[in-house]
């Protein structure tokens, strides 16, 4: 009998069940790896299918979406907090996990942090809400995820103002969350490398934070809301691709990477005075238009339910969640994921000299390595084939190349204009082919054995229209992921 990859993985998971029930300690305060691959962890996350976002923070008490960073912590007072009610409500909708906003953009922490940040210990409700949440959800058989904003207006963690001390603060807070509350299924970042937050991965390096998390909890998935910067169906600086559905972000057709789409049950993320009588999202829409079709495309739905100022869900929210649960049940394992290659390191091609076989009048090759997916190089009118090249100032080591055709931009059009491509490196006086592919493809990331070259070229064969490339990136990933070179 031949086993499928899913059956083989299931056998491994079953064999590990007994040891996985109790988290194994590694170094002091850290959790040892289960030995699962990234692909297995991503599949387990997708198998949960449906989750609950819980936005509770200072903004809850201010009729705002971003809390006032100058407001007194005493304003925070969910005096009748009931996290068991949250968990029961999640179960009523047949959800599999929750995600709590431990720190939003104003910088107030829902746990009694030992860092200099204001937190619940400074508030009118000096109780550890993170502890209450994780205990309640686990007690009801639900998985636990956490959200944390990198943008922190209280600590002045803003664009162009990142210092080693501020990075140390972020790492210290992550250490508290990842060593004091047991196994965390996934950690979701916001306000980092987003077009609106402008804190780039250059100012605050992704690998610095990613490696810190994986050292503390190797099995914790790391996801960043960076779709605004990387609007292509590939894993750029994230274990799970995030789509903020509430902000109009949509899953590309044919997406085959692990994803999550987030929206709200009420009109916005944080509770407002009008919510108890507000008309909420229809249960049928949640199930038929979002949950079911998303699940078929390797994407979870996470639905935000905002607790009120007493720390509980309003009755209309409870009723709607129960209605969702009557319409939908988790059918079990989600569609099987294929291995994907992930980008986690700086783009070595960024701002390097670039050249092309031809260019349209205002679409030079520099637009293909400017770290901006909303600009693109275009071949000259009538040129349906050509090449794009990056020239390094010295021999450069790399093992991953990625590129994106801008068919997500309206002025380019939704259809691919490229038929096939080849990635080449200039070595020993000749071009050596590293990878080839056909278009259209859902992902254009290729990984291969480490190579050293001074020039990298993307050869493109098109069909009827002039061709374009939004970004052509070169990377030296620290390890080969659980995917085979393509």
Res 340: pLDDT? 87
Residues 284, 367: one domain?
no
Structure confidence at residue 252 as a pLDDT band (50, 70, 90): confident
Residues 312, 424: one domain?
no
Res 23: pLDDT? 53
Residues 106, 215: one domain?
yes
How far lies 356's CA from each of 222, 430, 452, 459, in Å?
Answer: 36, 18, 21, 10
Residues 163, 308: one domain?
yes
Residue 24: pLDDT over 70:
no
Task: Determine the average pLDDT of the residues in 420-449.
Answer: 91
Residues 401, 430: one domain?
yes
CATH of the domain at 420: 2.60.120.260
Res 485: pLDDT? 33
- Calpha distance 246→237 (Å, rounded): 21
Residue 293: pLDDT over 50:
yes
Other CB atoms within 10 Å distance of the CB of residue 165? 8
How far lies 312's CA from each of 79, 85, 115, 328, in Å?
Answer: 10, 7, 28, 24
Record the pTM. 0.91
**Domain-embedded: residue 17:** no
Of 295, 327, 359, the position where a domain reaches its end is 327
Res 463: pLDDT? 87
Residue 15: pLDDT over 50:
no
Structure confidence at residue 464 as a pLDDT band (50, 70, 90): confident
70-84 pLDDT, tens digit each: 999 999 999 999 999
Res 29: pLDDT? 66
218-244 pLDDT, tens digit each: 999 999 999 989 988 889 999 999 999
Residues 322, 364: one domain?
no
27-44 pLDDT, tens digit each: 556 799 999 999 999 999
CATH of the domain at 136: 3.20.20.80
Residue 469: pLDDT over 60:
yes
**Better-scored residue on pLDDT, 26 or 1:** 26
What is the domain count for the chain? 2
Residues 213, 313: one domain?
yes
Domain of 449, in residue numbers:
345-475
Residue 19: pLDDT over 80:
no
Task: Determine the average pLDDT of the residues in 106-131.
Answer: 98
Res 370: pLDDT? 96
**Domain-embedded: residue 412:** yes
161-195 pLDDT, tens digit each: 999 999 999 999 999 999 999 999 999 999 999 98
- Calpha distance 134→142 (Å, rounded): 9
Task: Determine the average pLDDT of the residues in 270-298.
Answer: 97
Residues 303, 427: one domain?
no
Task: Determine the average pLDDT of the residues in 152-164.
Answer: 98
Average pLDDT of every residue of the chain: 92
199-217 pLDDT, tens digit each: 999 999 999 999 999 999 9
Residues 244, 205: one domain?
yes
- Calpha distance 323→301 (Å, rounded): 16
């Amino acid at each position: 009998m031949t086993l499928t990859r899913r059956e083989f993985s299931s056998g491994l998971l079953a064999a590990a069940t007994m040891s996985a029930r109790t988290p194994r300690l590694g170094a002091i305060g850290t959790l040892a790896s289960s030995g699962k691959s990234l692909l297995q962890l991503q599949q387990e996350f997708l198998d949960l299918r449906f989750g609950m976002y819980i936005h509770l923070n200072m903004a809850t008490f201010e009729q705002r979406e971003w809390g006032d960073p100058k407001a007194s912590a005493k304003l925070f007072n969910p005096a009748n907090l009931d996290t068991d009610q949250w968990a029961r409500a999640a179960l009523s909708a047949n959800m599999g996990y929750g995600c709590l906003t431990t720190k939003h953009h104003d910088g107030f922490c829902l746990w009694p942090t030992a860092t200099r940040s204001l937190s619940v210990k400074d508030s009118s409700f000096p109780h550890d809400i993170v502890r209450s949440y994780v205990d309640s959800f686990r007690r009801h058989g639900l998985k636990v995820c956490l959200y944390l904003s990198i943008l922190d207006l209280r600590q002045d963690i803003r664009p162009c103002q990142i210092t080693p001390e501020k990075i140390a603060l972020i790492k210290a807070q992550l250490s508290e969350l990842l060593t004091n509350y047991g196994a965390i299924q996934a950690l979701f970042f916001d306000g980092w490398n987003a077009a609106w937050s402008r804190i780039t991965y250059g100012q605050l390096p992704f690998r610095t934070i990613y490696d810190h998390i994986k050292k503390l909890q190797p099995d914790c998935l790391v996801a960043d809301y960076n779709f605004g910067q990387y609007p292509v169906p590939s894993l750029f600086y994230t274990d799970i691709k995030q789509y903020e559905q509430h902000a109009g972000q949509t899953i590309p057709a044919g997406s085959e990477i692990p994803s999550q789409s987030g929206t709200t049950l009420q009109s916005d993320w944080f509770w407002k005075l009008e919510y108890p009588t507000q008309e909420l999202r229809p249960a049928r829409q949640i199930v038929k238009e979002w949950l079911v079709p998303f699940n078929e495309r390797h994407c979870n739905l996470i639905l935000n339910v905002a607790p009120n100022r007493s720390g509980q869900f309003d009755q209309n929210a409870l009723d709607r969640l129960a209605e969702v649960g009557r319409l939908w049940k988790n059918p079990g394992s989600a569609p099987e994921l294929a291995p994907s290659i992930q980008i986690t390191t700086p783009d070595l091609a960024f701002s390097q000299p670039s050249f092309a076989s031809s260019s349209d009048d205002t679409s030079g090759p520099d637009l293909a390595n400017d770290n901006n997916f909303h600009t693109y190089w275009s071949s000259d009118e009538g040129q349906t084939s050509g090449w794009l090249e990056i020239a390094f100032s010295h021999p450069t080591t790399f093992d991953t190349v990625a590129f994106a055709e801008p068919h997500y931009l309206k002025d380019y059009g939704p259809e691919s204009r490229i038929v096939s491509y080849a990635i080449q490196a200039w070595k020993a006086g000749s071009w050596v082919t590293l990878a080839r592919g056909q278009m259209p493809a859902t992902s254009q990331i290729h990984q291969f054995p480490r190579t050293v070259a001074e020039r990298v070229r993307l050869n493109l064969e098109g069909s009827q229209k002039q061709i374009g490339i939004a970004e052509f990136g070169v990377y030296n990933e620290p390890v080969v992921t659980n995917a085979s070179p393509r």
